[in-house]
Homo-oligomer: A and B are copies of this chain.
Amino acid sequence: MQGLSEAAGLVGTVAFAATAVLAVAPRGIDLLTACVMGVLTAIGGGTVRDLILDQPVFWASELSVLWVSLLASLVTFYAYRLIARRRVVATLLYLDAVGIALFAIQGAAKAWWLGFGLPLGPILLGVITAIGGGLLRDVLAGRESLLMRRELYAIPVTAGCMGYAALMAAAPQLGNLAAVLCIGLIFGFRAAAIRWRLRVPDWFRLEGDRPEP
């Protein structure tokens, strides 16, 4: 179980770094920018979570996260033509979905066990863990941030964290089961969004044709 979780974490880290390089590359980047964007995307969300929880920043003692995200950024940079192919990109998107599912619930669980602002705190920190790195990447690269796009990305994460908080409030002794269920829920929801190109439905949106008040 522990081993499986660590393996999934490394897969998610690779996917975060690689998709970050792919996302930023169309604007023209050098090797260093690729590495910085890859590493910051992989560690950014968890770093902000740990600062808010007043816990030691996770990558100081889990240095593999830095090495793996660095290596994934380098490989994506040098093998850009191979990796930017449609099939590889699609695979990376699904692996990225593994990453956001795992990191969201890990973040929510860390906050929950610390009793940090239950029940809203863990939901907020789970979302920050999963998408904080991507937001940082978008802001530094001058891209429209993922919060402003119609892609279903933050919504599956939030739904899963809300489900986790509800299950933990109902049955805290089944923590592991709740975690596995909600990781599955986020991954399934996000994978469906990738597979069928689902977008945020209109009834869930305010349209942007209104003048700024």
Contact = CB atoms under 8 A, between A and B. Distances in A.
A148 B27 contact: yes
Contact of A32 (B27, B61, B154, B207): B154
B52 A54 contact: no
A148 to B, nearest CB: 6
A210 B47 contact: no
A66 B124 contact: yes
A169 interface: no
Contacts of A127: 36
Main secondary structure of the interface of A (DSSP, over half): helix
Contacts of A158: 32
Q: Tell me how many chains of this kind the complex includes.
A: 3
Contacts of A54: 56-57
A121 B56 CA distance: 13
Interface stretch (A102-110, A134-142, A179-187): A134-142
Interface in A40-85: 47, 51-52, 54, 56-57, 59-61, 63, 66-67, 70, 77, 80, 84
Contacts of A52: 47, 51, 57
Residue of A22, A34, A57 with most partner-chain B CB within 10 A: A57
A200 B30 CA distance: 7
A117 interface: yes
A200 B204 CA distance: 39
A66 to B, nearest CB: 4
Interface of A: 22-23, 25-34, 36-37, 39, 47, 51-52, 54, 56-57, 59-61, 63, 66-67, 70, 77, 80, 84, 86, 89, 116-117, 120-121, 124, 127, 135, 139-142, 144-145, 147-148, 150, 154-155, 158, 200, 204-213
14 contacts: A27-B148, A29-B148, A30-B205, A31-B205, A32-B158, A36-B147, A52-B57, A59-B121, A63-B117, A63-B121, A67-B120, A80-B210, A140-B148, A142-B144
